[in-house]
Structure 1
């Protein structure tokens, strides 16, 4: 930091500070024995700042200078608002409980509890063609040679068993599958449910569940095959939808305080595409991509509607 000079009044010093700000020169103003000291933060800016000070002293009320001062004032006010907003967000995060419990996240904990209970019930049933078929999108039974038999027209749902559009998200086939999905359900639920309110969060989860389940039933990737199969299950389609919503919403509306660390984004996107290789075995890739794309779309809808010109 280099001392630039002095001005005799605070008003002049503040105006010159704003003038330097409009020239992208960082400076500081301090009172000192009846005058105001001017400091330049960056050494490389000193020559330009000296020339600006000479110009300011020669004609402090020129129209062009007044224009630059006004621009600097506007920039300073905008930066102050941004700084205050950043402080407000940090305080809000600090006031929020570090680990939110069921009282703060009723829907999130409901999803986790039902998933654990259903998975335990299916495990105790030895994963036979019994209890599990009450939760899949279509009931199925063995047909010999590792084949299954089921109604491809979703007859059970058409007959009134509407819950089958959602309940596959509660079916998990092993402990790792369950723990992995429940971890992300809690992480993303803790970010979204308090902000959206529980009923909006529930509506989003239902949309993601129905869309990803239907997509997985009708389409398989990779490769792109239209082959109906009701044996899938898991919360990952919903989790990827919540991830997509948080990621895009954080990009489009950062003032909401919703966002993810870059490492989490890379991890989720990497896992999304790594599953396509088959390294993890049979994976509901279509549900992943369907939920992810729907979540991104839901996040983009509100900002897009805001940009429409008013009639």
Structure 2
């Protein structure tokens, strides 16, 4: 089983990072990345605006960050983990995991988070990346490299969620939703050119993703409507 094509370039990772940095610079020159009006203008998630029909606020927060420490932490994590995961699963699979995990994280925040909170950041997508490694470890558990990676990133997920419980201003629901999304999407997509898991299980994972996403969106609209 070929796990990593070391000749492959992680150009999706670098492109996502470039977009994120460019957006942060635009935030900075447009009033500051910690200015609430600037964040709202650039598409930060605010539940009442999503409820009013601005559904794109479930996507745009993935590329927004609040303060220099926030973008440095998430940017380095994206670069480090992305250069491992993207060559492993392929470019388009990586992009799907990154974007849809982020959206599921924002949906979880919309459904279960504080009504008046403003949230932004790539951490929803990053948790999805972490959980994708766990999926691969489950699917290809006979591969020691993947099982060790899965254990490492499972530990990282648990540690970060425990830290979320002790810190204020952290959107723990976004992180949980991103992790759930990454776990299911990683299972649905698997590794390229390998016929595992079976198609029926891939389809089932996709159905669960759609069902959970619809439920969270509907719940958010009911709670905050």
Tell me whether 1:120 sits opposite 2:25 in the alignment.
yes
Residue 235 of structure 1: which of 106, 117, 122 is its match?
Answer: 122
Partner SS state of residue 184, structure 2: helix
Q: Distance in 2 between matches of 1:112 and 1:154?
A: 30
Partner of residue 53, structure 2: 155
Question: Structure 1 stretches of 5 or more lacking a match?
Answer: 1-84, 141-149, 221-226
Tell me whether 1:274 sits opposite 2:163 in the alignment.
yes
Q: Distance in 1 between matches of 2:70 and 2:17?
A: 13
Q: Distance in 2 between matches of 1:264 and 1:201?
A: 16
Partner of residue 175, structure 2: 288
4+ aligned runs moved over 6 Å, structure 1: none
1:2-46: CA deviations, max 9, x gaps?
xxxxxxxxxxxxxxxxxxxxxxxxxxxxxxxxxxxxxxxxxxxxx
Q: Which has the higher helix share?
A: 2
Q: Is the 8 Å Cα contact of residues 217 and 229 (structure 1) preserved in structure 2?
A: no
Shift of 1:137: 4.7
Partner of residue 218, structure 1: 111
Q: Distance in 2 between matches of 1:186 and 1:264?
A: 15
Q: Distance in 1 between matches of 2:140 and 2:14?
A: 27
Question: Are the structure 2 counterparts of residues 297 and 263 from structure 1 closer, same or farther at C-alpha, using a change threshold of 3 Å?
Answer: closer
Shift of 1:263: 4.8
Q: Is the 8 Å Cα contact of residues 217 and 230 (structure 1) preserved in structure 2?
A: no
Shift of 1:180: 1.6
Q: Distance in 1 between matches of 2:79 and 2:144?
A: 20
Question: Structure 2 stretches of 5 or more lacking a match?
Answer: 191-195, 202-225
Q: Distance in 2 between matches of 1:137 and 1:287?
A: 13
Residue 206 of structure 1: which of 88, 99, 121 is its match?
Answer: 99
Residue 194 of structure 1: which of 83, 87, 90 is its match?
Answer: 87
Partner SS state of residue 96, structure 2: helix
How many residues align? The count is: 191
**TM-score (structure 1 length as normaliser):** 0.53
Shift of 1:138: 5.1
**TM-score (structure 2 length as normaliser):** 0.70
Shift of 1:245: 0.9
Q: Which has the higher strand share?
A: 1
Partner of residue 172, structure 1: 65
Q: Distance in 2 between matches of 1:153 and 1:307?
A: 35
Shift of 1:212: 0.9
Partner of residue 220, structure 2: none
Question: Are the structure 2 counterparts of residues 210 and 249 from structure 1 closer, same or farther at C-alpha, using a change threshold of 3 Å?
Answer: same
Question: Are the structure 2 counterparts of residues 268 and 151 from structure 1 closer, same or farther at C-alpha, using a change threshold of 3 Å?
Answer: closer
Higher RCO (Cα < 8 Å, 6 or more apart):
2
Q: Distance in 1 between matches of 2:150 and 2:200?
A: 27
Shift of 1:261: 7.1
Shift of 1:210: 1.4
Residue 77 of structure 2: which of 174, 184, 189 is its match?
Answer: 184
